[in-house]
Chains A and B, each alone.
Chain A
């Protein structure tokens, strides 16, 4: 799962759980059935689990593009600057 996918998965999870909680509460209250509320919410949790927990392909649509190794060799890693106060290394 790429960075964008992780963000999407987290948002999806929060929105879907909250939405199913609201639907479950309103339905349960309207039907005067506590059991109905819990069943609807449990269904919402299962659905959210199926959608956001496995690593589905649509979470991987923004792959990181690493530089080519030959490109990296042309721009060598900068060396750590040696401070002037440091003692010169013994030969």
Chain B
């Protein structure tokens, strides 16, 4: 502490150490939040359903997505990444996941939404297992914090079924 430079250096290093500590506690404080998100997805229409020339099934859906994810936001949340995956079982694979739609939610104000959309990414099966297939639509989310630990969870919505015939 005997010179200007020594004092400046000591202050800076101690200040930055405390910033790291504050960020760690801020990340820990996310655990105090118990979120209660809700989501509902309706398949409004099967736009078309066909077998591609090389044998894979492809279907186009129109979805109505309603969700309230505001409770996922805390003071340490930068943004949310959410995606909807169609999940189903085939004889070959116990779990198939096909991402149909995704979004980045940058603010709590836009975390309560209702959107009417066709699938953003193509719903193609690796094979021809989709006729009459029961599937789940799962809303996955990743909470991206300003500092610290990233959280991820999902809501599974079941009871959807594809038609028995191509159209």
Partner of A28, one of B1, B7, B18, B75: B75
Binary contact track B1-24/A, C-beta < 8 Å → 1, others 0: 110100110110011001101100
Return chain B residues, CB-CB under 8 Å to A60.
none
Return chain A residues, CB-CB under 8 Å to B146.
34
- In the bound complex, do residue B18 and residue A17 qualify as a contact, i.e. CB atoms below 8 Å apart? yes
Chain B contact residues, majority secondary structure: helix
- In the bound complex, do residue A13 and residue B4 qualify as a contact, i.e. CB atoms below 8 Å apart? no
Contacts A6-B2, A17-B18 given; does A34 touch B75 at CB 8 Å = yes
A31 to B74, CA, bound (A): 11
- In the bound complex, do residue B22 and residue A41 qualify as a contact, i.e. CB atoms below 8 Å apart? yes
A7 to B19, CA, bound (A): 24
Does A29 lie at the interface of the complex (its beta carbon under 8 Å from any beta carbon of B)? Answer: yes
Return chain A residues, CB-CB under 8 Å to B74.
32
Q: How many residues of A contact B (CB 8 A)?
A: 27
Query: What's the least CB distance linking B26 to chain A, in Å?
Result: 7
Does A53 lie at the interface of the complex (its beta carbon under 8 Å from any beta carbon of B)? Answer: yes
Task: Sample 18 A-B pairs with CB under 8 A, ordered by A number.
Answer: A1-B1, A7-B1, A9-B1, A10-B1, A13-B11, A17-B14, A18-B18, A21-B21, A21-B22, A25-B22, A25-B25, A28-B75, A31-B75, A32-B75, A34-B26, A52-B7, A53-B4, A55-B4
7 more CB-based (< 8 A) A-B contacts, given A33-B75, A45-B15, A49-B11: A13-B7, A21-B18, A21-B21, A32-B74, A34-B26, A37-B26, A53-B7
List A residues at the B interface (Cβ < 8 Å).
1, 6-7, 9-10, 13-14, 17-18, 21, 24-25, 28-29, 31-34, 37, 41, 45, 48-49, 52-55
